[in-house]
Amino acid sequence: GGSPELSHMEWKRNSAVPSGDRAVYEDEALCLALQFLTTIDQINVPNLKGCELMGRRIQLIREAYRISPSAPDFSASDHFLGWGRRRSGGAVAHKLRCGPAPHGGQHRKRIHKAREEKKLRAHRPTPKGKGKGKGEGAEEK
């Protein structure tokens, strides 16, 4: 129980993680953000996916340092954060890989349209002459 801030202070005190380690600062920042969201902003944190991700990151940090504080193991990040793996090894959320594009797919439509226009321009014959009426759409006399 208790607040996120107290949870951070307890983890910092009980873990063997050096106080200057970047994980201590990240854990503190995430805990304070959750603390401020609940107390000052009075947000209903359990209903927000972003806050859930913050909580998962806190858990990941603590688990990574639990077994070996001098050599943390973040290999479970995909599991903790609920992400899938890409071929390159980077993690991308499953919904981002498979779900609809933002803005109703408008971005994808614009990209597709631009590619189609580029293909059409590439296959269009270039006009041979330099004068007016020598190119495409010129009337024959």
| Dist. CA 66–CA 15, nearest whole Å | 7
Helices (H), 15-135: 22-39, 49-67, 77-81, 94-98, 106-123
Residue 90 is predicted with a pLDDT of 52
| Dist. CA 75–CA 73, nearest whole Å | 6
The Cβ of residue 61 has, within 10 Å, a number of other Cβ atoms equal to 24
Residue 77 is predicted with a pLDDT of 85
Query: What angle in degrees, to the nearest 10, is found between the helix axes of 22-39 and 4-14?
Result: 160
Give the mean model confidence (pLDDT) for residues 49-54: 92
Q: Which residue has the tokens 């903790």?
A: 80
| Dist. CA 87–CA 43, nearest whole Å | 37
Query: Which carries the bigger pLDDT value, residue 89 or residue 3?
Result: 3
Percent of the chain surpassing pLDDT 70? 62
Region class of 105: left (phi > 0), else alpha (psi between -120 and 50), else beta: left
Q: Which residue has the tokens 């014959």?
A: 125
Tell me the two tokens of residue 137. 């759409």
Give the predicted TM-score (pTM) of the model. Answer: 0.58
pLDDT over 90 (residue 58)? yes
